[in-house]
Structure 1
Amino acid sequence: MSTSNQLVVPQASAALDQLKYEVAQELGIAIPQDGYYGNITTKDAGSIGGSITRKLVQIAEQSLAGQAGH
């Protein structure tokens, strides 16, 4: 499956995958080990994506606040 989303920093892929698994575990959603996501409900996928976005925004805000404090 091809995707149009490309990471600006390709090395971030592993970190994003790790974050995806952490968020899914926090939400009690099982991520298939075979990489096939066809059996995950849209609601669960949206919950994972929304939580990842919230975490990334929080990380960015903390980073910016740290830079402003210097």
Structure 2
Amino acid sequence: MSNRQLVPEAKAGLYSFKMETAKELGVNFTDYNGDLTSRECGSVGGQMVKKMVEQYERNL
């Protein structure tokens, strides 16, 4: 498995989505995130997936 993006054009959109989700959760993402806990970072990723699944289900 690799971290290669399948759609490179989506990079800016995913970054915006990540920042929006982090802000909603109160996680202070910056260019350097080494001071964040794994739980904080994981909560952002988990919430992003949750939102994407909800959006997909609405569009069914």
TM class by smaller structure:
0.7 to 0.9
Name the counterpart of 1:52: 48
TM-score, scaled relative to structure 1: 0.75
**1:25 and 2:23 are equivalent in the alignment:** yes
The equivalent of 1:7 in structure 2 is 5
Task: Tell me the number of residue pairs that the alignment of Structure 1 and Structure 2 aligns.
Answer: 59
TM-score normalized by the length of structure 2: 0.85
Q: Deviations along 1:5-41, whole A, 9 cap, x unmatched?
A: 1121111111110011011110011111xx1121111
Mind listing any 5+ residue stretches in structure 2 that lack a counterpart?
none
Superposed CA RMSD = 1.2
Moved >6 Å (runs of 4+): none
**Greater RCO (CA < 8 Å, at least 6 residues apart):** 2
Q: Percent identity?
A: 39
Deviation at 1:50, TM superposition (A): 0.2
Q: Bigger radius of gyration, 1 or 2? A: 1
The answer for unaligned runs of 5 or more in structure 1 is 66-70
